Amino acid sequence: MLGEDCLPLVPLVPLPAPRSAEARGADDGADRRFDALSELVHQVAARKVVFLGRRSGLQPRGGRVVSMIDLAEVDTVRPTLPEPQGALLRQIARVINAVAHPITVSVTSPLDLLRELFTVKGAGTLVRRGMVVQSATSWEGLDRERLLTVIEEAFGKTLVPEFSSRPFLRAYVAGDYRGGAIVTETTLAPYLSKFAVTTVARGEGVGRDLWRNLTGDFPRLFWRSRADNPITSWYREQCDGLQRFTLDGKPWVALWRGLAPPDLATAIEYCQRTQPDFDP
Ligand SMILES: CC(C)(COP(=O)(O)OP(=O)(O)OC[C@H]1O[C@@H](n2cnc3c(N)ncnc32)[C@H](O)[C@@H]1OP(=O)(O)O)[C@@H](O)C(=O)NCCC(=O)NCCS
């Protein structure tokens, strides 16, 4: 549609030929073809559209493939891309804006298609509407049961009964309870106690939406993660520092952002001695 870099996966949108060059104006017909694609997406209620090209995703000049782009970031990312990719991104944003139901659009290569479709991390660029994140400072502002269910489902464990009455500093909910996070108070700094996205919604950027909100609210933050949790590699990019430690014979990491060096020993010690909130 926009050159060999950006061929649509399902090129089945019949279009009448433009009547005249004048009617066509500066437009090469791409807008109308993508409008027809939006209509098709709307009619079949497609939740995902994949564009296959030679490159495995949208790649800024001289940079690495961008793994995820929210609609709000499109205007910032477009100028960094080679022209055909920038044009494709503009059209993708138009498609997402044109349909009312939730939809994600991926750009990847045929070789990476299976990884993009069937792994949580994906392989390519995912373009999506950012999710609305609400937050509250007490359970009264939330549907307690739904948030607890999200956490238990995401971790695959049952929370200890007293967890549901413990106070927190701020809790976050993304979309219609597709994910949630809980930040608690400590004498040192805010502590990220829970960060969870339901299994069906994983890899679509819900975690990123939550993360952006909670790190915006709490520039000083620390948390812990099992060393073998797949998300730990992403945490490493988000943190200012980390320390490995062992808990019940298992390797963990304590991570932090915005903490001063004298605070670190206290943060690590807190991560080491905090009891799990889940039933054994
Ligand atoms: C951790 C969790 C909240 C992430 O939520 P998510 O909505 O899938 O995350 P996103 O889609 O927003 O991805 C955020 C980043 O993590 C990366 N990521 C997500 N899942 C990943 C995985 N399984 N392996 C490697 N990276 C992964 C994404 O690539 C993305 O990085 P990028 O922005 O550089 O592309 C979710 O996997 C979860 O609930 N896990 C179970 C509970 C848990 O372990 N919580 C953390 C305890 S410390």
Quickly state the pLDDT bin for 23 (edges 50, 70, 90): low
Q: Given this model, what pLDDT does residue 1 score?
A: 38
**Nearest-5° Cα angle at 199, 217 to 253:** 55
Q: Whose CA is nearest to atom 21 of ligand 1?
A: 121
CATH code of 133-273, in short, is: 3.40.630.30
Distance 207 CA to ligand 1 centre (A): 6
Among candidate residues 190, 246, 195, the one with its CA nearest the CA of residue 218: 190
Distance 229 CA to ligand 1 centre (A): 9
Quickly state the pLDDT bin for 7 (edges 50, 70, 90): very low
* Class for the domain spanning 4-128: alpha beta
**Nearest-5° Cα angle at 33, 25 to 104:** 130
Q: Given this model, what pLDDT does residue 2 score?
A: 38
Q: What is the DSSP string of 245-258?
A: EEETTEEEEEEEES
What is d(CA 58, CA 65) in angstroms, rounded to the nearest whole number? 5
Q: Given this model, what pLDDT does residue 27 score?
A: 59
Query: pLDDT above 90 covers what percent of the chain?
Result: 80
Q: What is the pTM of this model?
A: 0.83
**Helices 30-44 and 83-98, packing angle to 10 deg:** 40
Q: Where are the chain's structural domains?
A: 4-128, 133-273
Would the pLDDT of 8 be above 50?
A: no
- Look at the block and give the residue holding tokens 């903490």: 259
Beta bridge partners of residue 243, listed in sequence order: 254
Q: Given this model, what pLDDT does residue 146 score?
A: 97
The verdict on the CB of residue 210 being under 6 Å from ligand 1 is: no
What is d(CA 39, CA 100) in angstroms, rounded to the nearest whole number? 11
Query: Is residue 93 within 8 Å of residue 38, measured between CB atoms?
Result: no
Q: Which residue has the higher pLDDT, 271 or 20?
A: 271
The verdict on the CB of residue 199 being under 6 Å from ligand 1 is: no
Query: Is residue 51 within 8 Å of residue 95, measured between CB atoms?
Result: no
- Three-state SS for 171? strand
What is d(CA 232, CA 223) in angstroms, rounded to the nearest whole number? 11
Q: Given this model, what pLDDT does residue 122 score?
A: 86
Total residue length of the chain: 280
Q: Given this model, what pLDDT does residue 3 score?
A: 37
Write the DSSP symbol of residue 275. P
Distance 83 CA to ligand 1 centre (A): 31
What is d(CA 7, CA 1) in angstroms, rounded to the nearest whole number? 6
What is d(CA 238, CA 246) in angstroms, rounded to the nearest whole number? 22
Ligand 1 mutation target, pool 66, 120, 172, 235, most atoms within 8 A of CB? 120
CB neighbourhood size of 212 (10 A): 14
Print burial letters for 61-77: b (CB count within 10 Å at least 16), e (below 16).
eeeebbbbbbeeebeeb
* Residue 90: partners with Cβ closer than 8 Å, 6 or more residues away: 74, 78
Could you report the per-residue pLDDT of 190-234, keeping only the tens digit for each? 999 999 999 999 988 999 999 999 999 999 999 999 999 999 999
The verdict on the CB of residue 229 being under 6 Å from ligand 1 is: yes
